[in-house]
Amino acid sequence: MFRRIGDQRGVADCLIGLGCVRSAERRPAEAARLFGVGEAALEALGSVVWPSNRADYQHWDKIARAAIGTRAWEDAWTSARALGLDSMVENVLNADLANMGSVLTQTISWVDELTPREREVAQLAARGLSSRRIGETLVMADKTAANHLQNALDKLDVHSRSELAARAFELGLLP
């Protein structure tokens, strides 16, 4: 609709919002492309992401970047900026079922995003161990265990130890 009425700001916001959705769906390369073209469109308008949307955008940007790594992120982000807004909108609007099937096979599982150490810490935290006990078990400082746990919570998009414990089986952290 924004495209139809010529509202470039609205189109850019929608692409960035869709990038957040793709990040949540564990499709980080798509998120990078959508973020790249959306940001380019905002820059062309002399604008930026609305302050009210900035925290969500930064959250999903961080998750997608962590999922694919800096180099792959930059490649996808840069290529989309070069592609341009109109081409990206056409790509999004014209995605057919065959293309969607191949995209879904590229989806990254939640736990695959964790480093081996983050996974170990998350598994222990899901079993109810404190950061101190995790540190003792894995022979690391309490603070290091807490940092690994926070990274895991962010990547898994859970917000507390209790939510991690409640979803541990679903996430593949517990047998």
Q: In angstroms, how far is CA 138 from the centroid of its own chain?
A: 28
Compute the average pLDDT of residues 86-115.
Answer: 61
Check if the beta carbon of residue 64 is closer than 8 Å to that of residue 32.
yes
DSSP, collapsed to helix, strand or coil, labels residue 157 as coil
Check if the beta carbon of residue 27 is closer than 8 Å to that of residue 106.
yes
Q: Where is mean pLDDT largest: 10-24, 65-79, 132-146?
A: 132-146
Measured between alpha carbons, how far is 39 from 110 in angstroms, rounded to an integer? 26
Instruction: Place 106 in a pLDDT band, splitting at 50, 70 and 90.
Output: very low
Residue indicated by tokens 């998009």: 157
Measured between alpha carbons, how far is 128 from 122 in angstroms, rounded to an integer? 10
Whether the pLDDT of residue 103 is over 50: the answer is: no
Which region, left, alpha or beta, applies to residue 131 given φ > 0 means left and ψ of -120 to 50 means alpha?
alpha
Q: What is the pTM of this model?
A: 0.57
DSSP, collapsed to helix, strand or coil, labels residue 2 as helix
**pLDDT higher at 65 or 101:** 65
**Average pLDDT taken over every residue of the chain:** 84
> Where do the domains of the chain lie, and which CATH numbers do they carry?
2-105 (no CATH), 111-171 (1.10.10.10)
Check if the beta carbon of residue 61 is closer than 8 Å to that of residue 21.
no
Alpha helices per DSSP H over the chain: 2-5, 8-24, 28-44, 51-68, 70-83, 85-93, 97-105, 116-126, 131-138, 142-156, 161-171
pLDDT score, position 58:
94
pLDDT score, position 96:
40
Measured between alpha carbons, how far is 168 from 175 in angstroms, rounded to an integer? 9
Residue indicated by tokens 């081409």: 87
Whether the pLDDT of residue 15 is over 50: the answer is: yes
Instruction: Place 116 in a pLDDT band, splitting at 50, 70 and 90.
Output: very high
For the segment 20-35, what is each residue's pLDDT rounded down to a tens digit?
Answer: 988 888 889 989 989 9
For the segment 37-94, what is each residue's pLDDT rounded down to a tens digit?
Answer: 889 989 999 999 999 889 999 999 999 998 898 899 899 889 888 887 777 777 776 6
Cα pseudo-dihedral 68, 70, 72, 77, rounded to 10: 110
